[in-house]
Structure 1
Amino acid sequence: MAEPAGLDALATPRLLLDRDRLAANIAAMGGAARNAGLPLRVHLKTVKCAEAAAMLREAGVDRFAVSTVAEASFFAGRGCADLLYTTPVTPAKVAPLLALGPAAMAAVESLDMARAVSDAAAALGGALPVLIELDVDGYRGGVPFPGPEFEALAAFAAAAPGLTLRGAMSYSGATYGAADAAARAGIAAAHDAALAEAGERLRALGLAAPLLSTGGSPGVLATPAPDGANEFRPGVFCFWDLFQAGLGVCREQDIAISVLATVLSVRPDRGQALIDAGALALSLDRSTARQAVDWGHGRVCDVEGAPLGMLKVSGASQEHGVVTGDAAALARLRPGQRVRILPNHCCLTAAAYPAYDVISGGVLTGDTWTRVNGW
Structure 2
Amino acid sequence: MTPDTHTLETLDTPAALIDLPRMQHNIARMQHRMNALGVKFRPHVKTTKCLDVVRAQMAAGAQGITVSTLKEAEAFFAAGIKDILYAVGIVATKLPRAMALRKRGCDLKLVVDNAEAAHAVVDYARAHGERCEVWIEVDTDGHRSGITPEQEALLEVGRILKGGGIDMGGVMTHAGSSYDLNDRAALGALAEQERAGCVRAAQRLRDAGVPCAAVSVGSTPTALATEHLDGVTEVRAGVYVFFDLVMHNVGVCALDEIALSVLTTVIGHQPDKGWVIVDAGWMAMSRDRGTAKQSHDFGYGLPCALDGTPLDGLMLIGANQEHGILAASDGSARDDLVARFPVGTKLRVLPNHACATGAQFPEYQAVSSRGMVQTWGRFHGW
Distance in 2, Cα, partners of 1:325 & 1:141: 40
SS at match of 1:153: helix
Partner of 1:96: 97
Deviations 1:104-134 (A, max 9, x none): 1011111112212332333332132111001
Partner of 2:345: 337
Please say if 1:351 is aligned against 2:359.
yes
SS at match of 1:42: coil
* Cα distance change of structure 1 residues 329 and 70 upon mapping to structure 2, 3 Å threshold: farther
Please say if 1:142 is aligned against 2:146.
yes
Deviations 1:71-107 (A, max 9, x none): 0011112221110001111122222222333621011
SS at match of 1:86: strand
Distance in 2, Cα, partners of 1:208 & 1:88: 20
Matches within 5 A, 1:166-315: 166-208=169-211, 210-315=213-318
* Cα distance change of structure 1 residues 328 and 159 upon mapping to structure 2, 3 Å threshold: farther
Shift of residue 328 of structure 1? 6.9
Structure 2 counterpart of 1:49, which letter? C
Distance in 1, Cα, partners of 2:188 & 2:230: 14
Distance in 2, Cα, partners of 1:17 & 1:122: 46
- Matched-pair contact (CA < 8 Å) for 1:357–1:364: no
Q: Percent identity?
A: 36
* Cα distance change of structure 1 residues 92 and 86 upon mapping to structure 2, 3 Å threshold: same
Partner of 2:3: none
- Matched-pair contact (CA < 8 Å) for 1:158–1:205: no
- Matched-pair contact (CA < 8 Å) for 1:118–1:127: no
* Cα distance change of structure 1 residues 196 and 142 upon mapping to structure 2, 3 Å threshold: same
* Cα distance change of structure 1 residues 328 and 60 upon mapping to structure 2, 3 Å threshold: farther
Partner of 1:152: 156
Distance in 1, Cα, partners of 2:58 & 2:235: 15
Indicate the larger mover: 78-87 or 110-119.
Answer: 110-119
* Cα distance change of structure 1 residues 19 and 328 upon mapping to structure 2, 3 Å threshold: farther
Unaligned runs of 5+ in 2: 1-5
Distance in 2, Cα, partners of 1:56 & 1:329: 43
CA RMSD of aligned residues (A): 1.7
- Matched-pair contact (CA < 8 Å) for 2:285–2:351: yes
Structure 2 counterpart of 1:147, which letter? Q
- Matched-pair contact (CA < 8 Å) for 1:262–1:276: yes
Shift of residue 209 of structure 1? 5.3
Provide TM-score, normalisation by structure 1: 0.94
Unaligned runs of 5+ in 1: none
- Matched-pair contact (CA < 8 Å) for 1:278–1:317: yes
- Matched-pair contact (CA < 8 Å) for 2:171–2:212: no
Distance in 2, Cα, partners of 1:142 & 1:280: 32
Distance in 1, Cα, partners of 2:161 & 2:315: 49
- Matched-pair contact (CA < 8 Å) for 2:182–2:251: no
- Matched-pair contact (CA < 8 Å) for 2:85–2:108: yes
Distance in 2, Cα, partners of 1:209 & 1:134: 13
Provide TM-score, normalisation by structure 2: 0.93
- Matched-pair contact (CA < 8 Å) for 2:26–2:257: yes
Distance in 1, Cα, partners of 2:346 & 2:125: 52
Q: How many residues are paired up? A: 370
Matches within 5 A, 1:8-27: 8-27=9-28
